[in-house]
A and B are shown apart, each in its own frame.
Chain A
């Protein structure tokens, strides 16, 4: 029995929502960071599913671009986190409260 494409799309939508909610709810910056990765990978799953459903290779090519960009983003993001970590012992979103008005 084959699993219909809509199942994968639904799963991807659920993962994306989990990522988005996690980003809004969790306070640890590293976890927030992982939530962004979760959202990007949900998008990848969506792209691959559509690519398969449409019989078009384009969607799978897009996934490679997304993977590369996600890797580049990780590098910069971790760099920022490390530079904050050097100045204080922990990194949670609640500690970032200097800028308000």
Chain B
């Protein structure tokens, strides 16, 4: 556009601003506002080492956001889905469901973090502020109806997470994890963005529903640019959700990050990534499903197999759980690979169950490593020995989370795995179903290996092995009797996660109905 044109444009046309429907983005705004309020409060108090006011602000914010998301869900159920703010945000069952998932995960993460991460160098408002910020990014990804809003949400989520991963500034492994996560995160964002640009070029819009309309109404004679864009979007988001073959950052980052951050990242960042993946592929590219189905099936099969097999040989618990989360990502992809509404709702259910379980698992693990005198640091499988004797409740909690992740009956994990596999069978994707079932069996082995370690006795005179900060080199130190008493808030957080896993595992219909309705209302 020439300068002359610009001038006339400015002289004549009035820019029409879209009407902003604040009610449908209230959960995001609450999270964002709470983060800012935390920072303001901290600058008004003379003491730097307070933690509870910020946890309280965050807990209230996540409760309000979760409650409002449920309210929005009811509104959508009675009045139908709508796209607001110039079509950039959609308020439908899918987005409100995921907002509930994210709010609950944030609530649990903040409660658990109170007793663990703040014992390290993390006193002050930054931790909860960053958690709330990244949660708002994940919520924007869930609600986005425009590719650029997806990108913005992704960056709000990721940039806060880069900082959170490097939160233990005194620990080299935490810094290294932050660096790796940052470089690969930036790389994947750029790839994702290039995908957006090519899709925009091929369809002339970046709006998710308008792309779908365009593709439904026009038959492209040569759609090379569009397919390239679609594949690049898949690769970019594949990095974010840690699907094989884009998973190689995951074990390093999960191991090096502070344990509570790992739990949050595994829960909320995956929820955000899958929200974008499910919506873009299921809505925008639905007419191209013949092209993307084989790709998603490949990712799903590889993720389930590689995740389960590589988890077997890990000595570090966090690393093992990182591989197991890759395996879980494969299961969630199976729902998308079926490309049916049923499959998507099974993915959503899996995502909900998984987020809560993983936040709880890492919460207990960070308490265990705190009790071993190694706050938020690495923890070996052998460190879990004797846990059941020292602290039966904590041992039981960890064991329950682990068997739930393995898919034991009477937990949410069982139904999650069962429903994605049955969705795969219904849509006649037998290869997927077989791969999923085989890896579920392999996964049982390494989860039970951890659970077994919990119930094995540690000999009384055994030296406590603490991995030195020099990495794999383990040094023997005298047994330190650390009396670690987690605050009640932390125990409440773990208790809630456990109650969720068991209660909805036995009394499962409300959650399943919730997930089904979430998809049918888009």
The verdict on A101 contacting B194 (CB below 8 Å), with A80-B166, A87-B172 known, is no
CB pair A46 B176 closer than 8 Å: no
CB pair B152 A65 closer than 8 Å: yes
Interface centre among A32, A36, A81, A99 (most CB of B within 10 A): A99
CB pair A76 B194 closer than 8 Å: no
CB pair B178 A80 closer than 8 Å: yes
B247 within 8 A of A: no
Complex CA–CA separation, A84 to B165 (angstroms) = 13
A25 within 8 A of B: no
A66 within 8 A of B: yes
CB pair B314 A46 closer than 8 Å: no
Complex CA–CA separation, A47 to B519 (angstroms) = 32
Complex CA–CA separation, A76 to B126 (angstroms) = 14
Complex CA–CA separation, A39 to B180 (angstroms) = 18
Task: Pick from A43, A53, A79, A97: contact of B197, CB below 8 A.
Answer: A43
With both beta carbons as reference points, the residue of chain B lying nearest to A13 in the complex is identified as: B194
A61 to chain B, nearest CB (A): 8
B220 to chain A, nearest CB (A): 14
The verdict on A76 contacting B159 (CB below 8 Å), with A43-B190, A58-B200, A69-B151 known, is yes
The verdict on A72 contacting B201 (CB below 8 Å), with A16-B194, A62-B206, A80-B182 known, is no
Complex CA–CA separation, A79 to B175 (angstroms) = 11
A98 within 8 A of B: yes
A83 within 8 A of B: yes
Q: Binary interface profile of B, 192-231, with partner A (CB < 8 Å = 1, else 0)? A: 0110111011001110000000000000000000000000
CB pair B175 A83 closer than 8 Å: yes
Complex CA–CA separation, A42 to B197 (angstroms) = 10
Majority SS at the chain A contact face: helix
CB pair A29 B183 closer than 8 Å: yes
Task: List residues of chain B with CB within 8 A of the CB of A72.
Answer: 155, 159
B187 within 8 A of A: yes
Complex CA–CA separation, A56 to B190 (angstroms) = 22
B160 to chain A, nearest CB (A): 9
With both beta carbons as reference points, the residue of chain A lying nearest to B195 in the complex is identified as: A43
B3 within 8 A of A: no
CB pair B190 A36 closer than 8 Å: yes
Task: Pick from A40, A49, A56, A73: contact of B159, CB below 8 A.
Answer: A73
Complex CA–CA separation, A20 to B175 (angstroms) = 23
Task: List residues of chain A with CB within 8 A of the CB of B314.
Answer: 101
CB pair B193 A40 closer than 8 Å: yes
Interface size on A, residues (CB 8 A): 43
The verdict on A81 contacting B179 (CB below 8 Å), with A62-B206, A66-B193, A101-B251 known, is yes
Task: List residues of chain A with CB within 8 A of the CB of B201.
Answer: 9, 46, 49-50, 53-54, 59
With both beta carbons as reference points, the residue of chain A lying nearest to B175 in the complex is identified as: A84
Task: List residues of chain B with CB within 8 A of the CB of A77.
Answer: 162, 182, 186
Complex CA–CA separation, A39 to B472 (angstroms) = 35
B516 to chain A, nearest CB (A): 35
- B contact residues, range: 35 or more
B256 within 8 A of A: yes
The verdict on A76 contacting B162 (CB below 8 Å), with A98-B172, A99-B177 known, is yes
The verdict on A84 contacting B159 (CB below 8 Å), with A46-B197, A62-B200, A66-B193 known, is no
The verdict on A20 contacting B151 (CB below 8 Å), with A83-B166, A98-B176, A98-B256 known, is no
Complex CA–CA separation, A92 to B426 (angstroms) = 50
Task: List residues of chain B with CB within 8 A of the CB of A101.
Answer: 251, 255, 314-316, 319, 472
With both beta carbons as reference points, the residue of chain A lying nearest to B203 in the complex is identified as: A54
Task: List residues of chain A with CB within 8 A of the CB of B155.
Answer: 69, 72-73
A89 within 8 A of B: no
CB pair B200 A59 closer than 8 Å: yes
Complex CA–CA separation, A25 to B204 (angstroms) = 35
Task: List residues of chain B with CB within 8 A of the CB of A43.
Answer: 190, 193-194, 196-197
* A82-101 CB contacts (< 8 Å) to partner B: 83-84, 87, 93, 96-101
A26 to chain B, nearest CB (A): 11
With both beta carbons as reference points, the residue of chain B lying nearest to A61 in the complex is identified as: B148
CB pair B194 A99 closer than 8 Å: no
With both beta carbons as reference points, the residue of chain A lying nearest to B161 in the complex is identified as: A76
CB pair B190 A62 closer than 8 Å: no
Q: Binary interface profile of B, 445-483, with partner A (CB < 8 Å = 1, else 0)? A: 000000000000000000000000011100000000000
CB pair A20 B187 closer than 8 Å: yes
CB pair B176 A83 closer than 8 Å: no
Complex CA–CA separation, A99 to B182 (angstroms) = 15
B346 within 8 A of A: no
Task: Pick from A39, A46, A47, A80: contact of B175, CB below 8 A.
Answer: A80
Complex CA–CA separation, A42 to B194 (angstroms) = 8
In the complex, 7 of the A-B residue pairs with CB atoms within 8 angstroms, ordered by the A residue number, are A58-B205, A69-B189, A80-B178, A80-B182, A97-B471, A99-B251, A101-B319
| A residues whose Cβ falls under 8 Å from a Cβ of B | 9, 16, 19-20, 23, 29, 32-33, 36, 39-40, 42-43, 46-47, 49-50, 53-54, 56, 58-59, 62, 65-66, 69, 72-73, 76-77, 79-81, 83-84, 87, 93, 96-101
